[in-house]
Amino acid sequence: MSHSPALHDTTDIAAYMQALGQAARQAAKHLRRADTGRKNRALKAMAERLDRARQAVLAANAEDMQRGREAGLDDALLDRLALTEARIDAMIDGLHQVAALPDPVGELDGLRARPSGIQVGQMRVPLGVIGIIFESRPNVTVEAASLCLKSGNACILRGGSEARASNAALSECLKAGLQDAGLPAGTVQVVATTDRAAVGELICMPDYVDVIIPRGGKSLIERISREARVPVIKHLDGVCHVYIDATADADKALAIAINAKTQRYGTCNTMETLLVDAPVAGSLLPALAERFAEHGVELRGCERTREVLGDITPALDADWAEEYLAPVLAIKVVDGMDEATAHIERYGSQHTDTIVTQDYSLARRFMAEVDSSSVMVNASTRFADGTEYGLGAEIGISTDKLHARGPVGLEGLTTRKYVVFGDGHVRQ
């Protein structure tokens, strides 16, 4: 496949990004026709190429790590940047897993005959070209590319500058795999400049890019959403709630609250605020506090919580809207579900909220009234995840309401067009 020189010349960022966009748009046209078999062959070829290039990938990563250490990156960031044999194994497994997922493209739903004689249905098709902007973890390069490819989309990937050598080495494997399967190189393109202007260009090319998915901190995502001239599927914060109703089974309530907070602290589906119905605050809060203390979780409570638990840190108004991503939990005692749902409506981020209750009618009302991307009954918020939901893999979690909401898997990377079959039919 021939390569335009503009695809390699990063001196003029705008011209370079336009060249990537054009190549992606061309590739997308090709991908609309690619059948599942060919896409899967490319995914497996990528896995094989990556397996054979382990040494080159690890060497490139060592370069990034060295530069990162010199730049004084903290340990958490260095850990996310690091590649190991085990992490390469995981990327290879991931490629095979995506190959094994059902292909959503071409599904035809709801085909029915209309009184006019035409048949109308909706066919699932790729979005086209997806731009993904992410931070340090180089494995996102492989994961994002594989999901976009399987769903029939071309993608332009802009990784973090600290991972640039790793991403370039991974990109070589992906391109080689595409070539092995006879798919155009423009199917997966990794932006080869760390100049920040490239992001500005990428999010303002509606002719070449159909949707932008930013993965990273809230400030990055807010900036991209504000400046983009292309639709953005975004994930802002996860201020998730567990509400324990007075009728809750105490053991289940304890298990869910502890799991929702402590199973992992840094994830968006971790509980950040616990709401407890007043009649059971006296009996449940001490037991909860004891368990949280074992996990080293700092509690911040409303006045009524502090009446039960004694001298814990008072929760300020800002605590209710805070995504701690840390072993810190805000607790509020409420008078019944209506106060709980009003609190969730006011301070929540419409991500994931759960009720613990044995009351059928309350469960049903909570389901209908809480307007979040995941609403749960008697289950830990930590289940809000593409793998747990059976999507196979997820490219992110959307807190938007339009298009994809909640964990975004292959289906979220597609759209549906209407198809009409006639036999000379005209409108009367």
Is the separation of the CB atoms in 156 and 162 below 8 Å?
no
Interaction of residue 139 with a copy of itself, rule CB under 8 A: no
Look-up: residue for tokens 């990537």? 20
DSSP 312: P
Look-up: residue for tokens 């159909």? 210
Interaction of residue 346 with a copy of itself, rule CB under 8 A: no
User: What is the smallest separation between the CB atom of 356 and a copy of itself, expressed in angstroms?
Assistant: 8
Q: In this complex, which beta carbon is closest to a copy of itself, that of residue 121 or of residue 279?
A: 121
User: What is the smallest separation between the CB atom of 154 and a copy of itself, expressed in angstroms?
Assistant: 12
Interaction of residue 112 with a copy of itself, rule CB under 8 A: yes
Bridge-based pairing state of the strands 271-277 and 298-301: unpaired
Instruction: Tokens for 288, please give them.
Output: 């909860």
Q: In this complex, which beta carbon is closest to a copy of itself, that of residue 10 or of residue 200?
A: 200
Interaction of residue 37 with a copy of itself, rule CB under 8 A: no
* Interface pattern 13-32 for a copy of itself (x via CB under 8 A): ----------------x--x
Interaction of residue 186 with a copy of itself, rule CB under 8 A: no
Q: What is the DSSP string of 149-163?
A: HHTT-EEEEE--GGG
Part of the chain binding a copy of itself (CB under 8 A), chosen from 75-83, 86-94, 176-184, 258-266: 258-266
Total residues contacting a copy of itself by CB under 8 A comes to 68
Q: What is the DSSP string of 208-264?
A: T-SEEEE-S-HHHHHHHHHH-SS-B-------EEEEE-TTS-HHHHHHHHHHHHHS-
Instruction: Tokens for 366, please give them.
Output: 């909570």
Instruction: Tokens for 99, please give them.
Output: 């190959």
CA atoms within 13 A on the CB side of 90: 10
Bridge-based pairing state of the strands 188-190 and 352-356: unpaired
User: What is the smallest separation between the CB atom of 218 and a copy of itself, expressed in angstroms?
Assistant: 15
Interaction of residue 114 with a copy of itself, rule CB under 8 A: yes
Interaction of residue 426 with a copy of itself, rule CB under 8 A: yes
Q: Which of 103, 143, 272, 400 binds a copy of itself (CB under 8 A)?
A: 400
Part of the chain binding a copy of itself (CB under 8 A), chosen from 11-19, 82-90, 106-114, 323-331: 106-114
Instruction: Tokens for 222, please give them.
Output: 């807010």
* Interface pattern 369-398 for a copy of itself (x via CB under 8 A): x-xxxxxxxxxx-xxx---xxx--------
Interaction of residue 100 with a copy of itself, rule CB under 8 A: no
Alpha-carbon distance 218 to 236, whole Å? 6
Instruction: Tokens for 379, please give them.
Output: 């289950």
Cα dist from 177 to 138, 164, 392, whole Å: 18, 20, 22
Residue 168 sits at the vertex; the CA angle it makes with 167 and 172, to the nearest 5 degrees, is 115
Interaction of residue 327 with a copy of itself, rule CB under 8 A: no
User: What is the smallest separation between the CB atom of 8 and a copy of itself, expressed in angstroms?
Assistant: 26
Q: Which of 61, 166, 171, 259 binds a copy of itself (CB under 8 A)?
A: 259
Q: In this complex, which beta carbon is closest to a copy of itself, that of residue 194 or of residue 378?
A: 378
Q: In this complex, which beta carbon is closest to a copy of itself, that of residue 29 or of residue 69?
A: 29
User: What is the smallest separation between the CB atom of 404 and a copy of itself, expressed in angstroms?
Assistant: 8
Alpha-carbon distance 234 to 224, whole Å? 9
The torsion of the CA quartet 228, 234, 237, 239, rounded to 10 degrees, works out to 140
Part of the chain binding a copy of itself (CB under 8 A), chosen from 69-77, 158-166, 250-258, 291-299: 250-258
Binding site for a copy of itself (CB under 8 A): 29, 32-33, 106, 112, 114, 116, 118, 120, 123, 125, 127-128, 210-211, 231, 233, 249, 251-252, 255-256, 258-260, 263, 345, 354, 365, 367-369, 371-380, 382-384, 388-390, 400-403, 405-407, 415-427
